[in-house]
Structure 1
Amino acid sequence: MAGTDHNPWRRFLALPNESRTKTLVMAFLVSGICALMVSGATVLLRPIQTANRAAEEQARIAELVRGIPGMTDLLEQSGGTLSTVVIDLDDGRAAQDVTTETFATVLADTANWTALEPAADIAGLAQRPDYAQIFLLRTGEEISLVLLPLTGQGYGGRIDAILALEGDMNTIAGIAITGHSETPGLGGRIEDPSWQARFPGTLLRDEGGELRFGVARGTASTPYQVDGITGATRTGRGVSNMVQFWLGPDGYGPLLRAINRGEF
């Protein structure tokens, strides 16, 4: 008569495969091993994932820059470094608890949006995010270019754009319309490079600091205007309102003042 096997593992393995105890224990062991493997892989791959996200972000920034007339040449001439910063729009400073990695998640929370008073809502947004992701080009310690995402209402619907400002925070370096619903052949011409090429060199504020930028109804007559598009007055007004809102006190105004004070 064979002796009793006192090894619990061998006794467990000797149980019939139909045993409920054996099935449950094996399932628990397999799930535990898989969890450990996944956790280990996550730890090991985290530096690679972080590097990949950074590379993807830089590629996205580069794509945005290429969409702005003259920006590629400007970047090459300056030789600076383009970086991404999430700012708190209320005080115009870098956000303390929001990063580029968590930015999208933060904006998905309605608590991080501010309702706009009708009198201040010239861009037709109804509400404004509390945070924005901007792009800065530094040449040495100086900011030589800032790229600001904009959004507003045109004639046909929402208009999205990236506005580039020179280091004085008062001269437009370029603009890229990244999305719109305007009428093809009329307001839709805001996406034409020939129209966007009219923006570089346009001033935003006069000597007294008053924001005077606007899209003219026809040919620009002041240093603060760009030529309008024939037959698309309401689209031009939408672009004007969008720029004026975002560069005003409820948009990037606090940021631009902070940059001018040398706080960035």
Structure 2
Amino acid sequence: MADNTPDNNSGKGPLRRFLDLPTDSIPKTLFVAIALCLFASMVVSVAAVSLRPIQEENKLRDKRINILQVAGVYAPGANVREAFEAFEPHVLDLTTGRFTEEFDVATFDEQVAAADPDLSRALASDPAGIGRQSNFKTIYLLRREDGSIDKVILPVHGYGLWSTLYGFIALEDNGNDIFGLQFYQHAETPGLGAEVDNPRWKSLWAGKKLRDDNGDLQITVDKTAPPAGEDFHIDALAGATLTSRGVDNLVKFWMGEEGYATFLNNLQAGEIS
């Protein structure tokens, strides 16, 4: 006998049949989950795009504060942008040790340059663990009222235990005496390697020297002083041997022949003004 029971779904479109499904049906559950994921992704994307300028401004402000601090001229509560105007940025050609006009110092990005084969080189010997080195770096001069150089602020970076440490070393006008060292970005272990941020440890760098009277690089981060003496020694961080070794490696690398040595020689010879 033929089944004459009317088909309630006959003549209904796909949308109508979907809407008529029970609320807890698998298709409706999947639809709601996917819709929520898409909506959340859209909200996060919009927030990320809209907040990016603020995030970049905050990163730039933090970097400037660190430069002010390592140079000893930071005043809490002061206008960072105005205080930073006292610094004179230059793009330095590491090969010649001289400033270059090839790039706009306001927009030059050394991390982008480090990824460009035409502007960087792979390191055969890489104690700092940075992989590729840009041939150009942005450095900062702080001048006295008479226009002479007071401090030279040099960016440095290298691998510690868990992360790449990014920071600045401030040198006196003779290019040899250290005024300070400061890191503004890293992910070292709190209470151990992260003690590179400890004011007491940072204060140990003030007054130390890079090279001895023969011009040999002697600066050392270790538990014991080098043969050259205490003028070249910074105590290693307690319980953070690998981070200390990383700082030792990166400072020696950047202050050595692969880094700023040619520039510092030019500075000491009076060829940088």
For 1:87 and 1:156, how far apart are their aligned partners in 2? 29
Q: Residue in 2 aligned with 1:12?
A: none
2:119 matches 1:112: yes
4+ residue stretches of structure 1 with deviation over 3 A?
58-62, 69-73, 218-221
1:236 aligned residue? 244
Residue segments in structure 1 that go unaligned for 5+ positions in a row: 1-55, 74-79
Shift of 1:131: 0.6
Match of 1:25 in 2: none
Q: Which amino acid aligns with 1:103?
A: F
Q: SS in structure 1 opposite 2:157?
A: strand
**In 2, Cα distance between the equivalents of 1:210 and 1:150?**
20
Give SS of 1:111's match: coil
Q: State how far apart, in whole Å, the 1-side matches of 2:182 and 2:209 are.
A: 17
**Residue of structure 2 equivalent to 1:257:** 265
Aligned residues: 202
What is the Cα deviation at residue 109 of structure 1?
A: 3.3
| Partner SS, residue 74 of structure 2 | helix
Q: TM-score, normalised by structure 1?
A: 0.69
CA distance in 1, matches of 2:71, 2:143: 19
Q: 1:61 to 1:157 in 2, by over 3 A?
A: closer
- For residues 123 and 95 of structure 2, the distance between their equivalents in structure 1, rounded to whole angstroms, comes to 13
Alignment of 1:105-254 (within 5 A): 107=113, 109-118=116-125, 121-139=126-144, 140-217=146-223, 222-254=230-262
Are residues 95 and 136 of structure 1, via their aligned partners in 2, closer, same or farther at CA, if it must alter by over 3 Å?
same
Aligned partner (choices 49, 65, 68) of residue 66 of structure 1: 68
The yes-or-no answer on 1:88 pairing with 2:93 is yes
| Deviation sequence 1:159-183 (CA, Å, 0-9, x none) | 1111000111111101111111211
Query: How far is 1:111 from its partner?
Result: 2.2
Q: How many angstroms apart in 2 are the aligned matches of 1:224 and 1:156?
A: 26
| Cα offsets for 1:237-258 (capped at 9, x unmatched) | 1101101100111111111111
1:227 is displaced (CA, Å) by 1.6
Deviation at 1:61, TM superposition (A): 7.0
The C-alpha deviation readout for 1:75-107, integer Å capped at 9, x for no partner, is: xxxxx9421011111111111311213412862
SS in 1 for 2:271: coil
Could you tell me whether the CA contact under 8 Å between 1:218 and 1:230 is conserved in 2? no
- Residues 224 and 132 of structure 1: CA distance in aligned 2, closer, same or farther (over 3 Å): same
Equivalent position of 1:8 in the other structure: none
Distance 2:264 2:166 in 1: 20
Scaled by the length of structure 2, the TM-score of the pair is: 0.67
Residues 192 and 101 (structure 1), Cα distance of their counterparts in 2 relative to 1, 3 Å cut: same
Measured in 2, the distance between the counterparts of 1:168 and 1:191 equals 26
- Residues 193 and 148 of structure 1: is their aligned pair in 2 closer, same or farther, counting only changes over 3 Å? same
Gaps of 5+ in 2: 1-57, 76-84
Secondary structure in 2 aligned to 1:86? strand
RMSD between aligned alpha carbons? 2.7
**Contact 1:71–1:174 (CA<8 Å) still a contact in 2?**
no
Letter in 1 for 2:138: Q
Shift of 1:59: 6.4
The amino acid across from 2:237 in the alignment is I
Amino acid at match of 1:111: D
Asked if the contact 1:170–1:205 (Cα under 8 Å) also holds between the matched residues in 2, the reply is: yes
Matching residue's letter, 2:74: T
Q: Secondary structure at the match of 1:67?
A: helix
State the SS of the aligned residue for 1:254. Answer: helix
The answer as to whether partners of 2:222 and 2:235 remain within 8 angstroms in 1 is yes
Contact 2:71 2:170 in 1 (8 A): no
